[in-house]
Amino acid sequence: MSCIRLHPSGHVVEAPQGATVLEALEKAGYALPNNCRAGACGECKVKVLEGQYDQGFVLDMALAPEERMKGFGLMCMAKPVSSELVIEWGTADAKPKLFPPREKQPYVVTDRIARTPRIIELRLRPTREAMRYWPGQYVMLGDAEAGVPLRSYSVANAPRNDGELVLQITRQDDGRTSAWVHEKLVPGARIEVSGPYGTFIGDPSVETPVLCMAAGSGLAPILALTEAALRRSYSDPVTLLFSASTQADLYDAGMMSWWEARHRNFRYRPTLTREQPADAKGLHGRIPAVLPTLFKDLSRHSIFVAGSPAFVDDCVAAAKALGARQDLIHTEGYFPQNPPQTPPAGQLLDVR
């Protein structure tokens, strides 16, 4: 058994005998771009700072001799030989490096679905390169020329090959951008998308039970994070609490049901605040109020909360009252007028 230490965070991943570095990282939840898995394409190239490894046989076109000299290796074929291998991965807090945002990327609205009386779901496809992003991040939409200010909307799906983005957008009272979205963005519309922004990407190394709490279209980033986690066969319990005013405001119940059917560790609990639930097992009341009826101790849970700032604050307070640790709490207070939050340069991937 060797261990892989991630630099600069110092996080350690165990590498079982015979496993490649890529396999070990994936098993621990640390993603690395990859494609061919056998030393031919070069997409999983990283710099190895310390330790010995068996690179196996790889093509020069995937890893040039001068790159080897500089310490780079292909992790899809690399197997640790020394007891410890130190590689460059992510940031000081073991978050993955983020993709630099790009402005005005052309997209086409391919579909539009009314999810609730106030929330529509848009599906967008890129006409050029797909935007690379991490689940949980958001994009900015608007049309400055038409006097429609840019507003931030979380991406509701994990990245897909075809580059499709799913956005769930609530119509705000007096919200010019959300009105524009609801009235103008019909299938076929061409729009410009800027992003990705934000750092609400969770902790890829998390190995704890997970509690997600969302209200309204705050569900969007939670959906993306959950989809990504379930996609990589996350095995600890995941509970998703979703707060809505009425039955009509609950959406994506079909997807929740499918996730529950597919993943034994996933549990979905909707709660209604303004009417009694139709389902006898349904919850009634705001999440902070129902939380103690569902959990006695949250000291081992990773907590993800997304919604309005007030909703986030109340949920965090309720979770902390049940022992939740600050370092395991991740929040996304949705406030559409916020300027885009570009991560600091040190947290961005160098994609020259």
Partner 1 sequence: MGKHEQLARRMALPPAIEQPNVYPLSWHAHTAKLEEVWDAAQREYWDPKKLDWASFDVSRYSWEEREAIAYWWTILSVFDASAPPVFAAALIKTYEAHEEDPVRRCFFSVTRDEQNHEQVCGLAITKLLEHADPLTYVPKTEIGRKAQRNAQWLYYNGARYWAGYKNAVPKYSLAVLFSSFLMGEIAAATIFHQMAAKCTEPVFKEAFRNIGRDEGRHMAICMQLMERDYPKMDLSDKPLITKQIRAGYLFLSGVLFEPPEDFWDIPADFVAFQREIEAVARKAGFHIPEYEAKKENWRSAMLNLKGVLDKYGIAFPAIPEVGITGQEVSDADMVDIIPVF
CA atoms of 169 and 151, how far apart (whole Å): 10
- When the beta carbons of 10 and 106 are compared against partner 1, the nearer one is 106
Minimum CB distance to partner 1, residue 278 (Å): 38
Crossing angle of helices 287-294/309-321, nearest 10°?
A: 30
**CA 154 to CA 247: how far, in whole Å?**
23
- For residue 156, report the phi and psi dihedrals to the nearest 5 degrees: -95, 5
Q: For partner 1, what does the binding mask look like between residues 233 and 272, x meaning CB under 8 A?
A: ----------------------------------------
Nearest to 270 by CA among 295, 246, 298: 246
Q: Which is nearer to partner 1, 78 or 324 (CB)?
A: 78
Q: What is the DSSP string of 155-191?
A: B-S---TT--EEEEEE--TT-HHHHHHHHH--TT-EE
Q: Which of 62, 213, 225, 329 binds partner 1 (CB under 8 A)?
A: 62
Choose between 61 and 69: whose C-beta lies nearer to partner 1: 61
The count of residues interacting with partner 1 (CB under 8 A) is 24
Could you tell me the smallest distance in angstroms from the CB atom of residue 130 to partner 1? 8
**And the tokens for 134?**
């991490």
The residue among 56 and 175 lying less far from partner 1, judged by its C-beta, is: 56
- Shortest spacing between CB 39 and partner 1, in angstroms: 7
Question: What is the nearest approach in angstroms of partner 1 to the Cβ of residue 16?
Answer: 13
Give residues 102-121 in contact with partner 1 (rule: CB under 8 A). Answer: 106, 108
Q: Give ∠ CA 210-251-161 in degrees, rounded to 5.
A: 70
Return the residues of window 160-179 that contact partner 1 according to CB under 8 A. Answer: 161-162
The interface mask with partner 1, positions 36-55, x = CB under 8 A, is: xxxxxxxx------------
Q: Which of 215, 262, 261 is nearest to 240 (CA)?
A: 215
Under the binding rule (CB under 8 A), the answer on residue 59 touching partner 1 is: yes
* 128 touching partner 1, by CB under 8 A: yes
Q: What are phi and psi of 315, to 5 degrees?
A: -65, -40
Binding-residue pattern over the window 8 to 37 for partner 1, x denoting contact by CB under 8 A: --------------------------xxxx
7 binds partner 1 (CB under 8 A): no
Closer residue to partner 1 (CB): 17 or 326:
17
Q: Given the complex with partner 1, which of 129 and 145 has the nearer CB atom?
A: 129
* CB-facing half-sphere around the CA of 153: CA atoms within 13 A: 29
The string of DSSP codes covering 100-119 is PPEEEEEEEEEEEEE-SSSE
Q: Does 146 bind partner 1 (CB under 8 A)?
A: no
User: Among candidates 28, 15, 82, 20, which has minimal Cα distance to 46?
Assistant: 20
First to last CA, the chain: 35
3-state secondary structure (DSSP) of residue 302: strand
Q: Give the shortest CB-21-to-partner 1 separation in angstroms.
A: 13
User: Which tokens go with 56?
Assistant: 């196996």
Binding mask 276-315 for partner 1 (x = CB under 8 A): ----------------------------------------
Considering the complex, what minimum distance in angstroms separates the CB of residue 263 from partner 1?
A: 18
Q: Which residues bind partner 1 (CB under 8 A)?
A: 34-43, 57, 59-62, 106, 108, 125-129, 161-162
